[in-house]
Structure 1
């Protein structure tokens, strides 16, 4: 099994979520996060005070998928999160050694 962590633009979340549900990926954890990549800091002025925005609000989606579904789910995320502009986000993939459903005690892919 694989863990996918996708950090995407907040405004793209509903599109990505809908596409993941259509692709049969129903279980996900979602959180609001702030972060930055390699893009330059945004300098702004408000009421005469200058400030720098260096942490941009993003949405983090965490999924556990079967290895055979990995590439398909990654493609779904990319297709629905991409705007072509700086700040579209990142996808991280890592191995998952074990999954256990607390309620039933099921293990492995049955617990996903």
Structure 2
């Protein structure tokens, strides 16, 4: 199993979630997060913003689904044809075990 963490622009969340659901990945956790990436913040006029609002999506998937899920997020979280700074990041990490609390079942 893998944990996919995608940090994306808030305005892209709806499209990403819709496409994940349509592709058969309904189980997603969404959180508001704030931070900065390589661009080190944004300056608008005289104001410098070093904590930029983003959304983090957490998805636990089977190993075989990694390419499909990453491809969907990349396609629908990207701005424009070439993308822009601040479009986000995707992190993929191994998950050792998962349990459903209500049924006490192990696995997804």
Taking structure 1 as the reference length, the TM-score comes to 0.89
Is 1:81–2:77 an aligned residue pair?
yes
Aligned counterpart, 2:37: 37
Instruction: Give the Cα separation in 2 of the matches to 1:82 and 1:42.
Output: 18
Q: CA RMSD in A?
A: 1.1
Aligned: 1:27 with 2:58 = no
Do structure 1's residue 56 and structure 2's residue 52 form an aligned pair? yes
Secondary structure of 2:103's counterpart equals coil
Higher Cα radius of gyration:
1
- Could you list the structure 1 runs, at least 4 aligned residues long, displaced by more than 2 angstroms after superposition: 40-45
Shift of 1:89: 0.1
- For residues 63-110 of structure 1, the C-alpha deviation after alignment (integer angstroms, 9 at most, x for no partner) is 0000011111100000100111110000000000000000001102xx
The aligned counterpart of 1:9 is: 9
Give ranges in structure 2 of 5+ residues lacking alignment.
Answer: none
Partner Cα distance (1:22, 1:44) in 2:
37
TM-score of the pair, normalised by structure 2: 0.92
Distance in 1, Cα, partners of 2:68 & 2:99: 24
| Equivalent residues, number | 105
Deviations 1:35-87 (A, max 9, x none): 10011432345xxxx54201110000000000011111100000100111110
